[in-house]
């Protein structure tokens, strides 16, 4: 097969991978995700309230289930397409670049990301990729603004992607004397924003109940009460809950069958990133890389969503490779040397045969194409 024909097939495979990932996993949202989209600032500067404020401007005081379905689908599509377009833009237009893109779109992490329809993680990812699409030398202020906006959407932005933006800043300001300060600035601003949210946006457990009643008065569907309970839970409360969960078999099964495979995928991506970086980079650069990819996993200390945190780590790993390729013209050759066809096929087969509980059971994603098309009819009968 000629090189041109091979590239055409790889481009087609990448497009088909994206389409099938969306068809197989973009199903109606769970009540938890739909409920959090209604959070607003009626009770003060509450965490995660920005999304509800924006949604309220579009829908008015009452939000129907149809409007929520449209909002959640749009949100997930925004994140999913941003990931695809970003990797496609910065991967080299050669075989190894498309092999990595196909791996990313067929990874069980990407399937889980899409399967959590309507979660604010999609907005965080999409905003991060928009910020990273702007050259760091000219768009640092824009990136910092994106960090603040994303933190108002969901405080997970801090461990999810603030360090990833810092990693790209570190790569882009090699000859700048205050390189470290610039690279740390997204995370520092994220910490400051979180402190403001905790200091001025906290609500008590009693207020959380009233907040839940208020949200239900706005919603034309049944809300998930656990979502508003989370709004009223302090960090100390989260730590206490995690201490209790770690004593259960269910939690450790979740860690072993979901958390460990996702962690192994992150470790593989760190290895591949280091191969693409080459031997000449500093230890500080490698440390930034590891922190940027593994930072989302730190949330396992205070929260219990093993899958979402692991997924963010894996997606950050793929994005990190694209960032390295953008800043180093010689990195494409190193990617070709590291990602051979046998290597690609082994990782691909492992990914398409691993599922997390959200994709396989929790969200009802038990079917694959074409039978999943019958499941997709749920969008038409909210």
Domain boundaries, given as residue ranges, for the chain: 3-380
Beta carbons within 10 angstroms of residue 308's beta carbon: 22
At residue 361 the predicted structure's pLDDT band, cuts being 50, 70 and 90, is low
User: Which token pair is 280?
Assistant: 């000449």
pTM of the model as a whole: 0.95
Give CA separation, 144 vs 235, 368, 370, in Å: 25, 40, 43
Mean pLDDT of 214-230: 84
In this predicted structure, the answer to whether residue 178 has a pLDDT above a threshold of 60 is yes
Structure-model confidence comparison of residues 227 and 89, the more confident one: 89
Mean pLDDT of 39-62: 90
User: Which token pair is 13?
Assistant: 């495979």
At residue 63 the predicted structure's pLDDT band, cuts being 50, 70 and 90, is very high
- pLDDT at position 362 is 59
At residue 64 the predicted structure's pLDDT band, cuts being 50, 70 and 90, is very high
Q: How far apart are CA 149 and CA 141, in angstroms?
A: 13
Q: How far apart are CA 172 and CA 189, in angstroms?
A: 19
Question: Residue 176: which region, alpha, beta or left (left: phi > 0; alpha: psi -120 to 50)?
Answer: beta
- pLDDT at position 140 is 87
In this predicted structure, the answer to whether residue 364 has a pLDDT above a threshold of 60 is no
Averaged pLDDT of the chain: 91
Residues 297-321 pLDDT 10s: 999 998 889 999 999 999 999 999 9
At residue 363 the predicted structure's pLDDT band, cuts being 50, 70 and 90, is low
Q: How far apart are CA 196 and CA 218, in angstroms?
A: 27
Residue percentage of the chain with pLDDT more than 90: 68
Q: How far apart are CA 239 and CA 128, in angstroms?
A: 28
CB contact set of 8 (below 8 Å; sequence gap of 6+):
none
User: What is the SS3 assignment for 343?
Assistant: helix
DSSP state of 113: H
Residues 116-150 pLDDT 10s: 999 999 999 999 999 999 876 668 899 999 999 99
Q: If you write DSSP's letter for every residue of 274-310 in order, what string do you get?
A: HHHH-SSS-HHHHHHHHHHHHGGGGGGGT---HHHHH
Contact assessment for residue 126 and residue 78, using Cβ atoms and an 8 Å cutoff: yes
User: What is the SS3 assignment for 116?
Assistant: coil
Q: How far apart are CA 368 and CA 362, in angstroms?
A: 15
In this predicted structure, the answer to whether residue 175 has a pLDDT above a threshold of 70 is yes
In this predicted structure, the answer to whether residue 282 has a pLDDT above a threshold of 80 is yes
């Amino acid at each position: 097969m000629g090189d041109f024909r091979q590239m055409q097939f790889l481009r087609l495979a990448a497009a088909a991978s994206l389409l099938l990932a969306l068809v197989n996993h973009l199903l109606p949202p769970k009540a938890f995700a739909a409920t959090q989209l209604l959070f607003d600032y009626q009770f003060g500067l509450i965490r995660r309230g920005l999304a509800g404020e924006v949604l309220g401007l579009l829908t008015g005081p009452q939000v129907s289930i149809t409007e929520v379905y449209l909002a959640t689908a749009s949100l997930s599509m925004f994140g999913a397409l941003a990931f695809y377009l970003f990797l496609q833009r910065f991967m080299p237009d050669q075989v190894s670049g498309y092999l990595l893109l196909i791996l990313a779109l067929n990874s069980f992490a990407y399937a889980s990301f899409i399967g959590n329809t309507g979660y604010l993680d999609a907005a965080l990812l999409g905003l991060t990729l928009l910020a990273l699409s702007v050259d760091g030398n000219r768009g640092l202020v824009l990136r910092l603004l994106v960090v603040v906006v994303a933190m108002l959407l969901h405080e997970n932005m801090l461990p999810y992607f603030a360090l990833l933006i810092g990693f790209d800043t570190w790569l882009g300001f090699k000859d700048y004397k205050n390189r470290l300060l610039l690279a740390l600035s997204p995370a520092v601003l994220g910490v400051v924003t979180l402190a403001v949210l905790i200091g001025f946006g906290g609500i008590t457990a009693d207020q959380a109940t009233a907040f839940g009643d208020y949200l239900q008065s706005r919603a034309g569907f049944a809300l998930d009460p656990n979502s508003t309970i989370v709004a009223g839970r302090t960090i100390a409360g989260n730590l206490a809950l995690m201490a209790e969960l770690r004593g259960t078999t269910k939690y450790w099964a979740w860690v072993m069958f979901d958390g460990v495979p996702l962690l192994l995928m992150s470790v593989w991506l760190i290895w591949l990133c280091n191969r693409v970086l080459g031997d000449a980079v500093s230890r500080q650069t490698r440390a930034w890389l590891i922190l940027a990819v593994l930072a989302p996993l730190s949330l396992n200390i205070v929260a219990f969503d093993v899958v979402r945190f692991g997924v963010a780590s894996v997606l950050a790993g793929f994005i990190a490779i694209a960032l390295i390729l953008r800043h180093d013209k010689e990195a494409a050759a190193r990617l070709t040397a590291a990602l051979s066809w046998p290597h690609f096929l082994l990782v691909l087969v492992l990914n398409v045969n691993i599922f997390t509980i959200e994709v396989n059971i929790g969200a009802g994603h038990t079917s694959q194409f074409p039978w999943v098309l019958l499941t997709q009819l749920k969008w038409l009968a909210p």
